[in-house]
Amino acid sequence: MPESQRPAPAEAPPLRSASEAERLVQFAKSQPLADGGLQTAQLLSRALDLDPHHHEAQILQERLHQTFVPRWHFPMLADAARNAAYARAITAKVRPGDIVLDIGCGAGLTAMLAARAGAKHVYTCEQQPLIAQAARRVIADNGLSDRITVICKWSHDIVVGVDLPEPADVVISEIVDTVLLGEGALATLTHAMSALAKPEARTIPERGRLVAQPVESNALLDLWRPQQAEGFDLSAFHHLARVAQLPPSDFEACALRPLGPTTELFEFDFARPNINRARTTADLTCSDTGTVHAVLASFEMELAPGVTVANDIDSGGHWGRTAFLLDQPTPVQPGDRAKVIAQHDAAQLSLSVREISAPAKEARSPIVWMNPAWVAPAAARQADLPSPLIEAEAVWARADSAVLQPAVQSNP
């Protein structure tokens, strides 16, 4: 590369600034993280203001953000279909004058949608201080600080009369994972609807369903249960991978093929939730010929009447998928059924395949093939038999009769 085209070296900060930046970085490293990383983040930001190219400050800041701000926040915010669905549902259910409780503030999007829909005031809670701090900035940048209050608390710690002026008219949340349960939605909403909301409060979402279906995908097995690598047999390692968690990129690459329709496992009422355990046995019907490699579990949430979001096999968006792998791939034909046992404890889902079987055949009466001579009248047969054979036939007839008679037990 010609000398004139070489990138200019980064300008070094003044010696005093570089020294102060280094001091701040070392101080940041000594801070406890009990405050959710707030103090550490402030120190690192100050260090980078003084020396924008400080290597260790950049590394520590990124590590801090990845630790306290889950990365799924960003593809979720970029999911246009999900955002539009929540916007429609909030517009349909929030009324002018409503007090709204938004659980799980994130960047503040659903809180801002509720304010735009006419809520009197929105109280949005976020337990992670770094996220709550950033949400306040987003809300301020959009001119809604006077309509939205960010409460840096877990919703279970919110108190009406202290954090909320009165119970909420509407409770908004999106605290679900790929099978609805993993972020504690049922426990959180059970508390919120009983302690923080009016008796007839509206919820977004209103309800959810968990469904399952048999799927085929050689690519799924290649990804999660490779048979060999460089000629070595890896099959003894496979028992460590029974549940495949598929981010959108892996889900698309695996191209799961449904071998039957979805079957409902559980339904949840988010307006009247409970945390009771549940267990069900379901038959997943196969409608196509193929090989079942896994059972795909997915959800559908009804946010408002006619407004749904889902992560089924035909849906796009930011949602991941959960596939329960069979111990052995099993060929199936239309009409075959996979019997599964699904259980949940209000926080986690388990699913196991009990058996895959063909449909029961229609019962048929037994057919006894008989030589016509066997059913000829005894007298006619005996007329043609020599005397010893007639006696022998009589013995066999008595034996047959004894076998056919039911046994009778009598008391002594």
Output b/e per residue, 4-30; b: 16+ Cβ within 10 A: eeeeeeeeebeeeebebbbebbeebee
* Predicted local distance difference test score (pLDDT) of residue 364: 37
* Predicted local distance difference test score (pLDDT) of residue 7: 60
* Predicted local distance difference test score (pLDDT) of residue 399: 42
SS3 297: strand
Report the distance separating Cα 102 and Cα 116, nearest Å. Answer: 14
* Predicted local distance difference test score (pLDDT) of residue 348: 96
Q: Which residues are catalytic?
A: 174, 183
Per-residue confidence in pLDDT tens, the chain, 412 aa:
555 566 655 565 666 789 999 999 999 999 999 999 999 999 999 999 999 999 999 999 999 999 999 999 999 999 999 999 999 999 999 999 999 999 999 999 999 999 999 999 999 999 999 999 999 999 999 999 999 999 999 999 999 999 999 999 999 999 999 999 988 999 999 999 999 999 999 999 999 999 999 999 999 999 999 999 999 999 999 999 999 999 999 999 999 999 999 999 999 999 999 999 999 999 999 999 999 999 999 999 999 999 999 999 999 999 999 999 999 999 999 999 999 999 999 999 999 999 998 876 543 344 334 343 344 444 444 444 444 444 444 444 444 444 334 333 333 3
* Predicted local distance difference test score (pLDDT) of residue 12: 57
pTM of the model: 0.82
* Predicted local distance difference test score (pLDDT) of residue 16: 79
* Burial (CB count <10 Å: 0-12, 13-18, 19+), residue 317: middle
Can you give 151-190 as a three-state secondary structure string? ECCCHHHCCECCCECCCEEEEEECCCCCCCCCCCHHHHHH
* 344-389 pLDDT tens trace: 999 999 999 999 988 765 433 443 343 433 444 444 444 444 444 4
Report the distance separating Cα 189 and Cα 155, nearest Å. Answer: 9
Query: Is there a contact between 47 and 21 (Cβ–Cβ < 8 Å)?
Result: yes
* Predicted local distance difference test score (pLDDT) of residue 17: 86
Which is nearest to 185 in space by CA: 127, 292, 269? Answer: 269
Report the distance separating Cα 108 and Cα 90, nearest Å. Answer: 14
Report the distance separating Cα 61 and Cα 46, nearest Å. Answer: 11
Report the distance separating Cα 299 and Cα 136, nearest Å. Answer: 31
* 15-38 pLDDT tens trace: 678 999 999 999 999 999 999 999
Q: Which residue in the block uniquely carries the two structure tokens 């995908």?
A: 217
* Predicted local distance difference test score (pLDDT) of residue 13: 65
